[in-house]
Amino acid sequence: LNWRYATKKFDSSKKVSEKDLNTLLDAAQLTASSYGLQPYRFFVIENSDIRSKLRKASWDQPQITDASYVLVLANKAKITRQQNTMHKKEKN
């Protein structure tokens, strides 16, 4: 995980194992935000109909339908004072 590479072609006959996917998700969830609140959520998209729609919205990039999974990172646009307070209580 100390390097980065943008894969453009996937072998759709091969699939990333669930164990490897979980390792990647665990590592991603450990990344810290500047506030320490991690105001984001990861979604794993496997459904082929959804992926086909995403491909159309992604300039028809074949990676969207050929890769084992599509990972979507969703970030909260606003963090409330209550969420911040709840997070502080959870840490104590």
pLDDT in tens, 56-79: 999 999 999 999 999 999 888 777
Percent of the chain topping pLDDT 70: 83
Report whether 66 contacts 12 (CB < 8 A). yes
Rounded to whole angstroms, the Cα distance separating 30 from 22 reads 12
The answer to whether the beta carbons of residues 69 and 21 sit under 8 Å apart is yes
Q: For the residues 38-45, what does the mean pLDDT come to?
A: 87
Percentage of the chain modeled with pLDDT above 90: 50
- pLDDT given for residue 78 in this prediction: 78
